[in-house]
């Protein structure tokens, strides 16, 4: 995996969309002035000045969103950083370049095929999914295996509510996911950087956990292409690459499905990929993390801070072997 250390940018503001434009304009000036004296700051300022759209991109407003989880008492990562520092290898391996390369990605119409070991296989249109399932806001920590993290107010619905629509068979024990792989829209799909399409998987009990979300938006607006529009997986106690983007297919299975990064390098990327500060990546420590937009590193929390909700899923397992 390409490694790139994020800028050490100070800024712990919490923002909501209501005053977002004036907030971001003021924030851009203040952060730019503070950072201009350093090489890293100059590079960051250049990106923002050269690409002014970086502070103005937004999705469509999502109506009727309800807050279903107690908020995490941590500063939210700004919409600007969430939408302009992205891992989405189908478009680019450069986190700063994904937003511009994905700008024209077409997400309507969109269908999601759900099948395999289910009693009622179905193909859903994205509008149908939005009508079937109540949109909720959940503030989750989101950690990348490379050591950087964000706090994101996701909008979506529990994956369990979708799976209940298709009624899993008794033999189903895993859920496999597949992303879109469109050479015409996604430039890196024409390369051999990874095996395409991107695929991921969960155990069925992980998929049915109340924390597991199919996200359709963030900050109260529909997902932008660089964040996995129109539908992506969010599993907050696992490393970010488990959050497969632009999903087109979900298949219930009786065996563990292949996953993209495990195929690429099984020594470094296991199937479970639970956030565990005691298990280092072979090329770096996982004991600390860098919150994007905040100065300094912080200790990594077991299961990303969600141990109370998910530790019981792994009772009796060796989490060093099953990394």
Residue 277, domain member (yes or no): yes
- Residue 55 within a domain: no
Judge whether 212 lies within some domain: yes
Q: Please state the rounded mean pLDDT for residues 277-298.
A: 94
User: Is 33 within a domain?
Assistant: no
CA–centroid distance for 159 within its chain: 14
Q: Does the pLDDT at position 66 exceed 50? A: yes
Average pLDDT over residues 220-230: 97
Q: Is residue 94 part of a domain?
A: yes
Residue 54: predicted pLDDT: 52
Residue 71 binned pLDDT confidence (cut-offs 50, 70, 90): confident
Question: Is residue 253 a part of any domain in this protein?
Answer: yes
Q: Identify the band that residue 56 occupies on the pLDDT scale cut at 50, 70 and 90.
A: low
**Whole-number average pLDDT of the chain:** 86
pLDDT at 307: 97
pLDDT attached to residue 62: 92
User: What is the DSSP code string of 284-319?
Assistant: B--SEEEETTSSSEEEPPGGGGTHHHHGGGGTT--T
The two most distant CA atoms of the chain are separated, in Å, by 62
Residue 13 has pLDDT above 60, yes or no: no
pTM for this predicted structure:
0.84
In a domain, residue 301? The reply is yes
**CATH code for position 231:** 3.90.420.10
Q: Number of folded domains in the chain?
A: 1
Domain span at 137: 60-309
The arithmetic mean of pLDDT across residues 277-299, rounded, is 94
- My answer on whether omega of the bond before 249 falls inside 30° of 0, hence cis, is no
Token digits of residue 275:
């956030």
Quick check: 36 pLDDT over 50? no
Structure tokens at 246: 């632009």
Query: Is residue 321 in a domain?
Result: no
Element (H, E) at 40: helix 39-50
Beta strand extents in the chain (DSSP E only): 66-67, 111-116, 122-125, 136-143, 148-158, 174-179, 199-203, 213-218, 221-222, 232-234, 247-253, 288-291, 297-299
Q: pLDDT value at position 61?
A: 93
């Amino acid at each position: 995996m390409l490694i790139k250390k994020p800028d050490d940018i100070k800024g712990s503001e919490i923002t909501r969309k209501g005053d977002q434009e004036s907030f971001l304009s003021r924030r851009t000036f203040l952060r730019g002035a503070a950072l201009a004296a350093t090489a890293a700051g100059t590079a960051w300022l250049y990106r923002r000045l050269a690409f002014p759209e970086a502070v103005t991109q937004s999705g469509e407003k999502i109506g009727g969103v309800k807050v279903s989880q107690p908020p995490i008492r941590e500063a939210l990562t700004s919409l600007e950083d969430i939408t302009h520092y992205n891992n989405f290898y189908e478009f680019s391996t450069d986190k700063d370049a994904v937003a511009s390369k994905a700008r024209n990605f077409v997400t309507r119409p969109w269908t999601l095929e759900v099948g395999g070991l289910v009693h009622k296989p179905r193909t859903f249109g994205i509008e149908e999914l939005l009508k079937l399932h109540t949109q909720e806001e959940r503030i989750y920590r989101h950690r990348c295996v490379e050591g950087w993290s964000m706090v994101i107010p996701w909008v979506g619905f529990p994956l369990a509510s979708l799976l209940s629509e298709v009624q899993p068979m008794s033999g189903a024990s895993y859920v496999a996911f597949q992303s879109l792989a469109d050479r015409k829209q996604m430039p890196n799909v024409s390369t051999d950087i990874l095996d395409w399409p991107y695929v991921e998987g969960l155990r069925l009990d992980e998929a049915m956990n109340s924390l597991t979300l199919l996200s359709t938006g963030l900050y109260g607006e529909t997902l932008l292409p660089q964040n996995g529009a129109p539908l992506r997986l969010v599993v907050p106690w696992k490393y970010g690459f488990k959050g497969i983007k632009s999903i087109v297919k979900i298949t219930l299975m009786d065996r563990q499905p292949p996953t993209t990064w495990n195929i690429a390098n099984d020594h470094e990327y296991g199937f479970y990929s639970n956030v565990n500060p005691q298990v280092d990546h072979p090329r770096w420590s996982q004991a600390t993390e860098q919150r994007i937009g905040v100065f300094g590193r912080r200790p990594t929390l077991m299961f990303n801070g969600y141990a109370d909700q998910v530790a019981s899923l792994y009772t009796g397992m060796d989490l060093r072997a099953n990394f």
